[in-house]
């Protein structure tokens, strides 16, 4: 009788809480924590994670797009939610669901004010995004005067926050660049404090910033990847606990002989008698083809098994020669005992990409 269970992504809230408490230990007691739950909470489940983060003390949450914030509101989450990349075509939902937009262009600010007028909204909070060196989004420092003038003409808008984003806070070779970003942000913060005449939250630290630049915590920090158990360098990986564990089972075992091939395009050819296990997950589940042909390893009964041949849409094959295993045995693709860094044995990408790519057809299980 087979022991086959479905492929699943296990979500460990105890690990989430451990990471949250660790990050909080780096901060002053009064510093607020914003939990980033964009992209389905980094590939897990934004509602489950968002609710628990608020429960354990996160004052605010952040998402990428308005529809992500709407999902959290519909689930009953009432905490402030910052939307990093709001789109004008969905701006009515931004207003209706009391989401806080990041504003980084005059174009969006004008469109937002027009919508507020249409809905007869008298006061609405925003966070101003300032570019200090990432050069992705944000007002430039030389635009601050024009931003204040625009705000003065739009009395409905209240600045609830001013923020920026560190480009390389986890890279020890870029400490001076990060310090330059922090200095620029301090300049912007001081400018808006002088001109707005009311309080707002200031935040620039991401996960690595929290761990490496305590002088930049300001009023609030944004915790993203570290909450889920990963960072940007080995030190951070050692401190944190994996929240998500991708597990599956052995669907079939077979023995192939020298010269036999495995998978599409026959990319693997056996040099000796080889034991092969087929696992029921593939690139449609988020395991990219870049991990085929020996570029990643899964954990089976305490031993590492490399992926061989090309990853298929719904399946992949691993070499289990010398590993005692049976059909139906559990496989940890990545998780507590085989971290994303261990799985991606050739370091072809970053943990962010691996965990956020796990598709929604993989069942999420709370453990």
Domain positions in the chain are 31-228, 244-366
Share of the chain above pLDDT 70, in %: 98
Alpha-carbon gap, residue 96 to 116, rounded angstroms: 10
Using CA atoms, how far apart are residues 58 and 53, in angstroms rounded to an integer? 5
Mean confidence (pLDDT) of the chain: 94
Tokens of 66: 């308005």
pLDDT reported for residue 154? 86
* CATH (residue range 31-228): 3.20.20.10
State the 10-residue block means of pLDDT for the chain, 367 residues long.
71 97 96 98 97 98 98 98 95 94 95 88 94 97 96 92 96 95 98 94 96 95 96 75 96 97 95 97 96 97 97 98 96 96 92 94 93
pLDDT digits (tens, 9 = 90+) for 87-139: 988 989 999 999 999 999 999 999 999 888 888 888 999 999 999 999 999 99
Beta-bridge partner residues of 83 = 63, 101
CA dihedral (282, 288, 289, 295) positive or negative = negative
Check: pTM over 0.85? Answer yes or no: yes
Phi, psi of 298 (to 5 degrees): -105, 170
Terminal CA-CA length for the chain: 26
pLDDT at 151: 94
What is the rounded distance in angstroms from the CA atom of residue 217 to the CA atom of residue 201? 11
Q: Summarize the annotated binding site as residue ranges.
A: 136, 313
Which residues participate in the annotated binding site for substrate? 136, 313
pLDDT at 46: 97
CA distance 36 to 53: 10
Residues 6+ apart with CB under 8 A from 66: 83, 86, 87, 90, 91, 93, 94, 97, 99
The neighbour count for residue 37, using CB atoms within 10 Å, is 31
The enclosing H or E element of 127 equals strand 124-129
Provide the pLDDT for residue 115.
87
Burial status of residue 319 (CB atoms within 10 A of its CB: 0-12, 13-18, 19 or more): buried
Q: Any long-range contacts for 190-195 (C-beta under 8 Å, 24+ apart)?
A: 191/144, 192/128, 192/144, 192/148, 192/159, 192/162, 195/148
Cα diameter, the chain: 77
Catalytic residues, which ones? 38, 264
Yes or no: say if 36 and 228 are a contact pair by the CB < 8 Å rule: no
* Residue 111: Cβ-neighbour burial (10 angstroms; 0-12, 13-18, 19+): middle
Angle 339-343-345 from CA coordinates, rounded to 5°: 120
User: What is the pLDDT at residue 1?
Assistant: 46
Q: For domain 244-366, which architecture applies?
A: Beta Barrel (2.40)
Q: What is the reported pLDDT for 206?
A: 96
User: What would the two tokens of residue 20 be?
Assistant: 């949250």
């Amino acid at each position: 009788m087979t022991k086959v269970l479905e492929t699943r992504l296990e979500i460990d809230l105890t690990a989430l809480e451990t990471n949250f408490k660790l990050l909080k230990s780096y901060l002053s007691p009064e510093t607020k924590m914003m939990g980033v739950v964009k992209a389905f909470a980094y590939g897990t489940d934004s509602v489950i994670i968002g609710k628990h983060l608020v429960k354990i003390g996160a004052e605010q949450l952040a998402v990428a797009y308005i529809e992500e914030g709407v999902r959290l509101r519909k689930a009953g989450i009432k905490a402030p939610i910052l939307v990093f990349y709001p789109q004008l075509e969905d701006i009515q939902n931004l207003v209706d669901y009391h989401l806080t937009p990041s504003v980084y262009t005059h174009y969006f600010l004008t469109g937002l004010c027009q919508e507020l007028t249409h809905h007869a909204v008298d006061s609405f909070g925003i966070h101003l995004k300032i570019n200090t060196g990432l050069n992705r989004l944000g007002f430039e420092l030389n635009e601050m005067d024009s931003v204040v003038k625009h705000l003065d003409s739009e009395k409905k808008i209240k600045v609830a926050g001013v923020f920026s984003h560190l480009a390389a806070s986890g890279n020890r070779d870029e400490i001076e660049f990060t310090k330059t970003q922090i200095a620029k942000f301090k300049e912007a913060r001081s400018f808006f404090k002088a001109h707005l005449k009311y309080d707002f939250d200031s935040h620039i630290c991401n996960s690595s910033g929290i761990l490496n630049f305590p002088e930049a915590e300001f009023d609030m920090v944004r915790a993203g990847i570290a909450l889920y158990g990963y960072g940007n360098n080995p030190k951070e990986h050692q401190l944190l606990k994996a929240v998500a564990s991708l597990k599956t089972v052995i669907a079939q075992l077979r023995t192939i002989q020298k010269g036999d091939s495995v998978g599409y395009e026959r990319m693997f050819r056996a040099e000796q008698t080889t034991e092969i296990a087929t696992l029921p997950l593939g690139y449609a589940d988020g395991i990219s083809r870049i991990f085929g042909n020996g570029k990643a390893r899964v954990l089976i009964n305490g031993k590492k098994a490399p992926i061989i041949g090309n990853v298929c849409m719904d399946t992949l094959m691993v070499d289990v020669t010398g590993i005692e295993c049976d059909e139906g045995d559990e496989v940890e693709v990545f998780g507590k005992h085989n971290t994303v860094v261990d799985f991606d044995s050739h370091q072809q990408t970053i943990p962010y990409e691996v965990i956020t790519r796990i598709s929604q057809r993989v069942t999420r299980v709370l453990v």
